[in-house]
Amino acid sequence: MKTQVAIIGGGPSGLLLSQLLNRAGVATVILERSSRDHVLSRIRAGVLEAGTVALLREAGVGARMDREGLPHDGCFVSDDDLMIRIDFKALTGSTVTVYGQTEVTTDLYAAQDAMGTTILHEVSDVVIHDADSNAPFVTFTHDGAPARLDCAYVAGCDGFHGVSRKTIPADKRQEFEKVYPFGWLGVLSRTPPANDELIYANSANGFALASMRNAALSRYYVQVPLTDRVEDWSDERFWAKLQSCLPSDVAGTMVTGPSIEKSIAPLRSFVNEPLRWGRLFLVGDAAHIVPPTGAKGLNLAASDVFYLYHGLVDALTKGDATGIDAYSARALARIWKAMRFSWQMTMMLHRFDGEDAYAAQMRKATLLHLSQSETARRDLAENYIGLPY
Ligand code: FAS
Ligand code: PHB
């Protein structure tokens, strides 16, 4: 097999990059480890920055998002019963869109199928060869048979546990990591959202997030110790914990119901530098992980895709390597700013086991200042709606 860009990973990064490249006349092949059903069964991000929305429209997959996505002009941050509204529209002139990553991935798969793009599912033994040469290639197993894909470039879109990042020799790259001593237990329920805008809640009982997918589908999270397992949490225990963290008037009126999905995600901040090694480029979670507190994971993948897509089109159609040569530094500049915001939101809203009374006071003072300072709210809003590409 031969193509122009070999894409490892058929999640949102790989699919969006492939869709944009194909529309620009660049050929791709996607190699995905899991079945399509498995990829589409994952419940992940829920909030799209305006830049991500624009890129999905440019990729020709914005129609259902524009019909079914929920534009949100603001969100709330709460401290026990103190509700602080962050008015994105008034403070920045921009908004975000609530539209689940599952829907984005579904739309991208449909568009790629319509393009006739080659997407190989359930591949295994993926190895990237000669990335630091002018003739890289990928070997893998598919349908029980060994296979080889020759290409001009490789896009590593295979997430945190993929092979792409590890293809870069350890002495050629640097990892930056912070692991948080807690995770998020997430629940999806066919219940109306507790509030019409998201609530990021700090409380004496820990962190909670009230989010949604649509008017009949709610997405909630509570902070849990890393030692907890999903089976430790009955629906009843989850709802009681969530309601103990949300402002009491919200908790007292919300509708609860059976969970249709329940999972625990650990929180970490991670960046790999650089994002390039020869003709291999790292994109999305293959390159970086953010705690979901700032709703940045999927949105950072989108800006990586934006930079690499333009660079690869220029390199492959005009022989101009300026964009791919600048990709790593350009993407990392935005990645680190989103890392900082996600870390700041995580530190502001979570209780850390064993923290001293001073740390708790710092968190409360930060939230009180947020409630009293438009400047502080504007800083949060500018980062939340997404910094410029
Ligand atoms: P992905 O991990 O989505 O996709 C990588 C793909 O590569 C997968 O389909 C995988 O099967 C495939 N792959 C892996 N190894 C391979 C190999 N060797 N060969 C071939 N294919 C391989 N972000 C938010 O903004 N908000 C959230 O609430 C949120 N919650 C999350 C919860 C969890 C449990 C996780 C893991 C992530 C969450 N994220 C969240 C972040 C998430 O949305 C990512 O940012 C997003 O999935 C990034 O997309 P990709 O870069 O495509 O990586
Ligand atoms: C979600 O709806 O899944 C969601 C929203 C905002 C976040 C994290 C997750 O910051």
CATH at 317: 3.50.50.60
Is the CB of 61 inside a 6 Å radius of any atom of ligand 2?
A: no
Are 49 and 116 found together in one domain? yes
Is the CB of 183 inside a 6 Å radius of any atom of ligand 1?
A: no
Residue 76, domain member (yes or no): no
Are 10 and 121 found together in one domain? yes
Among residues 339, 61, 279, the alpha carbon closest in space to that of 150 is found at 279
Residue 205, domain member (yes or no): yes
- Return d(Cα 250, Cα 220) in angstroms, integer: 13
Residue 77, domain member (yes or no): no
The single residue of 288, 296, 310, 350 carrying the catalytic annotation is 296
Residue 79, domain member (yes or no): no
Are 29 and 46 found together in one domain? yes
Token reading at 78: 């709460």
Are 229 and 331 found together in one domain? no
Other CB atoms within a 10 A radius of the CB of residue 375 amount to: 10
Residue 14, domain member (yes or no): yes
> Any catalytic annotation for residue 262?
no
Are 64 and 138 found together in one domain? yes
Please name the helix (run of DSSP H) or strand (run of DSSP E) that holds residue 237, with its range, or none.
helix 235-245
**Is pTM beyond 0.75 here?**
yes
Are 207 and 234 found together in one domain? yes
Where does residue 4 rank: exposed (0-12), middle (13-18), buried (19+ CB within 10 A)? middle
- What atom in ligand 1 is closest to the CA of residue 31? 20
Are 317 and 282 found together in one domain? yes
Are 107 and 41 found together in one domain? yes
How many domains in the chain? 2
Is the CB of 47 inside a 6 Å radius of any atom of ligand 2?
A: yes
Strand, coil or helix: 253: helix
Range of the domain at 230: 181-267+353-385
Is the CB of 386 inside a 6 Å radius of any atom of ligand 1?
A: no
> Any catalytic annotation for residue 384?
yes
> Any catalytic annotation for residue 72?
yes
Q: 285 C-alpha vs ligand 1 centroid, how far in Å?
A: 6
Is the CB of residue 29 less than 8 Å from the CB of residue 3? yes
Are 225 and 261 found together in one domain? yes
Among residues 114, 115, 120, 112, the alpha carbon closest in space to that of 141 is found at 120
pLDDT tens for the 389 residues of the chain, in order: 999 999 999 999 999 999 999 999 999 999 999 999 999 999 999 999 999 999 999 999 999 999 999 999 999 999 999 999 999 999 999 999 999 999 999 999 999 999 999 999 999 999 999 999 999 999 999 999 999 999 999 999 999 999 999 999 999 999 999 999 999 999 999 999 999 999 999 998 999 999 999 999 999 999 999 999 999 999 999 999 999 999 999 999 999 999 999 999 999 999 999 999 999 999 999 999 999 999 999 999 999 999 999 999 999 999 999 999 999 999 999 999 999 999 999 999 999 988 889 999 999 999 999 999 999 999 999 999 999 99
Is the CB of 230 inside a 6 Å radius of any atom of ligand 1?
A: no
Are 44 and 113 found together in one domain? yes
Are 209 and 234 found together in one domain? yes
Are 220 and 315 found together in one domain? no
> Any catalytic annotation for residue 200?
yes
- Residue to substitute in 55, 105, 158 for testing ligand 1 pocket (most ligand atoms within 8 angstroms of CB): 158
